[in-house]
Structure 1
Amino acid sequence: MLRKLSNRYASKWLVLLFDSCIVAFTFFLAYLIRYNFRIDFDFAMFIKQIPFVVLGAIISFLIVSSHKGVVRFTGFKDVVNIIIGVNILATMLIISTFMSRKYEFHNVFDIPGSIIYIHLLLNIFFLIGAKFFIKSVYRSLVTDYDVLSKVLIYGAGDSGMITYNAIINDAKSNIEVFGFIDDNDRKVGKKINLLNVYHPKKITKEFISKHEIDEVIISIQNISSNRLLQITSSLFALNLKVKIVPAVQNWIDGDLSIGQIKEIKIEDLLGREPINIDNPLLIDEYSGKTILVTGAAGSIGSELVRKLTNFKFKKIILLDNAESALYDLQQELERNQINNVHAIVADIRNMVRLDNLFNSYKPEIIFHAAAYKHVPLMEQNPFEAVSVNVRGTLNVVNLSVKHGVDKFILVSTDKAVNPTNVMGATKRIAEMIICCQKNLENCKTKFITTRFGNVLGSNGSVIPLFKKQIESGGPVTVTHKDIIRYFMTIPEASLLVLEAAAMGLGHEIFVFDMGKPVKIFDLAVNMITLSGLNYPDDIDIKIIGLRPGEKIYEELLIDGENTKPTYNEKIMIAKCKTIDIDNVEKLIKDLCLLGSNSQNIEIVSKIKEIVKEYNPNNSTYDVLN
């Protein structure tokens, strides 16, 4: 019964009739008040005036469309409409009275001014009061109080009030707002809609227990990530659930609905502002182009493809040797009715196969995201790291030059900077291959490198690992208590790569200003708390020691790489470090000639000969130092 009631809405004409009846009643009440609650007035004349007043009310309400509002969702805008409507009615009655007296019209239109003003005030009081009374009754009928959640809103400003209104206007929300939290001393101790504003220091475990608070909704626009991290950490310590109101630009049609208030995510706690790129140059860059993405089924590659489908491309070629993942991406694009996408199962180590693909599809832009990236595995398998990250990259680069590709964008990593592991060193060699193309004569291709830190949620990254460990009951494993990393989300990384392609003129390394690095231990604690558990009572954290080749901290720049700003303050350009191109090319050729029967130490020693700053750490290759 209640569910059916919650899905039904009163007709707008019924609302108009209801409002008109209230206007008629208040008109009678205005006469009673004016004549001291005695019927000492011309009652017959009053009866004749009623139709005129009601007609005026109907016209006024139709003008402001107050009858179209859903009564159960009555809010500030509806109140404003009602006030405007009754003022229009009062103005009409004043004008009719003036004209009646001046031109001696029928005295039906001659209404005393005192009654008009009393009527105006009564209309405001009764019409608004009736709407909020009906809203309150409806809410009490359809709300299931057994599952009612009591919340505090963090932020007593405009955004906090909008959040409050979104909650109270949603009869199905099952949420009771207990009060507001704000650190502004001028607001603390005051009331908003009869609700107290508390200082954050007031919110203690005793306070939470006494008032049975379930969660806190953070409603502060343009809040810095560091401030958000500080607030959430203090709230998590009180065992409170934390939700956050999205940025105003993400509200649907400019209005906030309760469904948009989400659980806070680990991406919100990175300690930096997210990157947002809105560059019209990207439209020109990719419109009508044939684009090849290597490693298209991977975390970065697949997101690059998704972003590219927003442009009017000519063709997109998805190249990967991971058959299942590539098939999943192909099916996703088909479901979204994306045409002119070709999924190719191929290996970048196969030069002949690649050459045939270049001949068939003639790509104009190449995003090279194919790589082996897992540090511990590549420490044990340096030959495979070289074969894909070095030889594979060299194949795609050489074919780009041969076939006159317009732009080649390499997806690199911060682990290539002063590397301490095989994976990072091979990615540094891939960067050096790009730098070696600088002196080529009559080379049409513009070579560009993008370099960024760890990607949240990518295959094999720390976030999915922590999630699995938490789901299985722990412990969460961290290699070192002081280990720190730069983080960005997959969409951010993809946007950076697309921006670099549009911005790049050739032989730049684009580096993203990733703000402050995140301490992995703190990240683990936050993830445990976000899962509704406590550290160390529910889930413990185990320090297991640095893995072979792992650094305590990462860097984004190599010594000798000077940076300069771009028009996007979050993106910097680093020029390729000067290298002996002839010598490097010879050494890379020798490295690629090593066979699968070569000893690991032999392969790694060749890598170190090329990458002088490579210093193996905590691995069997330390002897090379």
Structure 2
Amino acid sequence: RRRGRRLIRKAMEQSSQHHLYKVVAFVEGNKDLIGKNIDGIKIYSFEQIKSRFKSLHLDCVFLVDGEIDIELKNSIVENCLGLQIPVKVIPPVSNWLHGHINFKEIKDVNIEDLLNRPAIQLTTKHVQQFIHQKRVLITGAAGSIGSEIAKQVVSSDPVSLVLLDQNETGLYEINYEIEKLYGKSEKIHVCIGDIRDKNTLLYIFTVYKPQVVFHAAAYKHVPMMECNPSEAILNNVFGTKLLADLAKRYGVERFVFVSTDKAINPTNVMGASKRLAEIYVQGLQDYKREIVVDMEGNFRVISEPFETQQHTKFIITRFGNVLGSNGSVIPRFKEQITRGGPVTVTHPDIIRYFMTIQEACSLVLEAGTMGKGGEVFIFDMGMPVRIADLATKMIKLSGFTPGKDIQIEFVGLRPGEKLYEELLNNKEEVIPTHHKKIMIAKATYHEYELVNISIKKIIKLAMEHSDVPLVQQMKLVIPEYKSQNSQFEALDSLYVNPVLSN
């Protein structure tokens, strides 16, 4: 570690085309090093150094990537921003080429670097062993989550990897990125298609015979789905049902469904649609018969259509907002700051849980490996982030003063939006796993027959684009679904008996 500090000092003090630095102090979290010297440069704790920031006449503070815990990093950045001292990130010494730093690799601190909790460390060895030599299908492969899952899966050398999405450009980009990282491979199959198209899915299951399915395809934007409930159901529920039914029929080993914290006590169509999909997938776990419902809602039983030698394990992962994902708040704030503001926040008190895309996808893979079937995996996401504070910090990190250089405007909650998200409802219990940061929500199971009948009714209404009856039926199935800031709030005043028993 001392050698690393010497290399850093030597590198920072060497002249380059644009830089010349003089190292005046080191800051350490390791108590054994505090108070010692490296080549005459004293090592301080943060508490010792923060009162000396002004007297040292600092022009810049450098953080070594990966060598400082998140709480200390946030404290240093907060103090530096208050004194208008720039903060930059240096790659770890182990990543330097022949002991020399490339000054182009020194980056500004990103808001993603200041996530308000330690990054979750997941074991990759048994995940790699599980994926190795498996046939894998990823839906929504062009999206933020699906594309990162694809990159992590391909590194584990699957027999084949099918990337399914209806986004042609996004599929091209993820395929190109994988080729850059791993070269061209006949194992990668890029399929343009819609999860609502049964013929497309039948083709994929019969030709590529996936053993593991990661289902990440979804409509996720709350305000848009509030205006388009039928499309939310057709994609998030009907598409999931088709996939899950085919997974069971064709003997897929594991089906991992990517859900959201918005499915808990939903206040919007999007969250309720994901909760419906959760309920269906869980109900399918131990069911070995199929219910066929006619147009009048009558049903008959077909014996054992799903019977296969391989019993599919259906696994659900549920997490919060993903930093930097397509359409998320951070890219939007960055764009607004670049334009000179204002930065728009819906409400002063709105809070959200956040994690990185890499963490989210590691969780999905970990759950796919450890799940025994029927579980809802959640994990410790630390403290939620106040969005107004996030906006303020991003403005400061960009070198501006909030309220002076760039304004923050509060524009009101959007349709279906609530002030805070949850990972559990009041009836769910938490069961620990072997990983202290990953837990299982002991969710209520519902009878598959009732679930299937109810969901088919909802799908029928969606196909007819009967939005109000559709949402009313959703509320019958999910009694905790209470609309907020929505055209559907009036439906909550109608007394109804839930159609699913707990």
| TM-score normalised by length of structure 1 | 0.69
Q: Give the letter aligned to residue 326 of structure 1.
A: L
2:65 and 2:450 map into 1 onto residues whose CA distance is 56
Q: Which residue of 1 aligns with 2:403?
A: 536
Match of 1:257?
101
- Secondary structure at 1:586 match in 2: helix
Q: CA deviation at 1:276?
A: 2.6
Q: Is residue 229–residue 467 contact of structure 2 (8 Å, CA) maintained in 1?
A: yes
What is the aligned partner in structure 1 of residue 258 from structure 2? 411
Alignment of 1:121-160 (within 5 A): none
Determine if contact 2:9/2:23 at 8 Å carries over to the other structure: no
The residue that corresponds to 2:365 in the other structure is 498
Shift of 1:182: 5.1
Residue type matched to 1:337 in 2?
Answer: G
SS of match in other structure, 1:467:
helix
1:4 aligned residue: none
CA distance 1:189–1:436, change in 2 (3 Å): closer
- Is 2:267 the partner of 1:420? yes
Q: Structure 2: where are the runs of 5+ without partners?
A: 289-306, 493-502
% same residue:
42
Report the CA distance between 1:246 and its aligned residue. 4.7
- Aligned residue number for residue 201 of structure 1: 51
SS at match of 1:176: coil
User: Residues 66-465 of structure 1 correspond to what in structure 2 (within 5 A)?
Assistant: 163-168=8-13, 174-177=19-22, 179-180=24-25, 193=39, 199-204=49-54, 207=55, 211=57, 213-219=58-64, 222-246=67-91, 251-252=95-96, 257=101, 259=103, 261-335=106-180, 336-339=182-185, 340-441=187-288, 442=307, 444-465=311-332
Give the Å deviation of 1:380. Answer: 0.2
> Partners of 2:64 and 2:217 in 1: how far apart?
41
Offset at 1:263?
A: 2.1
1:466 aligns with 2:333: yes
Structure 1 CA distance for aligned equivalents of residues 395 and 266 of structure 2: 31
How many residue pairs match? The answer is: 464
- CA offsets per residue over residues 295-330 of structure 1, 9 Å max, x none? 111111111111111012111111111122112222
SS of the aligned residue for 1:594 comes to helix
> 1:546 deviation in Å?
0.8
Q: 2:461 aligns with which of 594, 607, 619?
A: 594
Q: Which has the higher helix share?
A: 1
Q: Verify the 8 A CA contact 2:163 2:189 in the aligned structure 1.
A: yes
Q: Secondary structure at the match of 1:563?
A: strand
Q: Is the 8 A contact 1:478 1:542 kept in 2?
A: yes
Greater Rg by CA: 1
Conserved in 2, the CA contact under 8 Å of 1:483 and 1:519?
yes
Query: Residue type of the partner of 2:77?
Result: T
Aligned twin of 1:486: 353
What letter corresponds to residue 53 of structure 2 in structure 1?
I
Structure number with the bigger relative contact order (C-alpha 8 A, sep ≥ 6) is 2
The aligned amino acid for 1:608 is K
Check the 8 A contact 1:163/1:256 in 2, yes or no.
no
> Deviations for 1:228-260, whole angstroms, at most 9, x for unmatched residues?
222211211111110234567x54489673645
Deviation at 1:584, TM superposition (A): 2.2
Q: Deviations over 1:34-81 (max 9, x none)?
A: xxxxxxxxxxxxxxxxxxxxxxxxxxxxxxxxxxxxxxxxxxxxxxxx
Q: Measure the CA separation in 2 of the matches of 1:552 and 1:231.
A: 29
Deviation at 1:333, TM superposition (A): 3.0
Other-structure match for 1:53:
none
SS in 2 for 1:410: strand
Tell me how far apart the structure 2 counterparts of residues 356 and 189 of structure 1 sit (CA, whole Å): 67
Separation in 1, partners of 2:162, 2:231: 25
Contact between 2:62 and 2:89, CA under 8 Å: does it hold in 1?
yes
Aligned equivalents of 2:417 and 2:224: distance in 1? 12
Contact kept? 2:6, 2:39, Cα under 8 Å:
no
Unaligned stretches of 5+ residues in structure 1:
1-155
What is the root-mean-square deviation of aligned Cα atoms in Å? 2.7
Amino acid at match of 2:478: V
Q: Secondary structure at the match of 1:200?
A: helix
The alpha-carbon deviation at position 505 of structure 1 amounts to 1.2
Shift of the alpha carbon at 1:226?
2.7
Partner Cα separation in structure 2 for residue 186 and residue 607 of structure 1: 59
Using structure 2 for the length normalisation, give the TM-score. 0.85
Secondary structure at 1:217 match in 2: strand
Tell me how far apart the structure 2 counterparts of residues 312 and 619 of structure 1 sit (CA, whole Å): 46
CA separation of 1:494 and 1:579: change in aligned 2, threshold 3 A: same
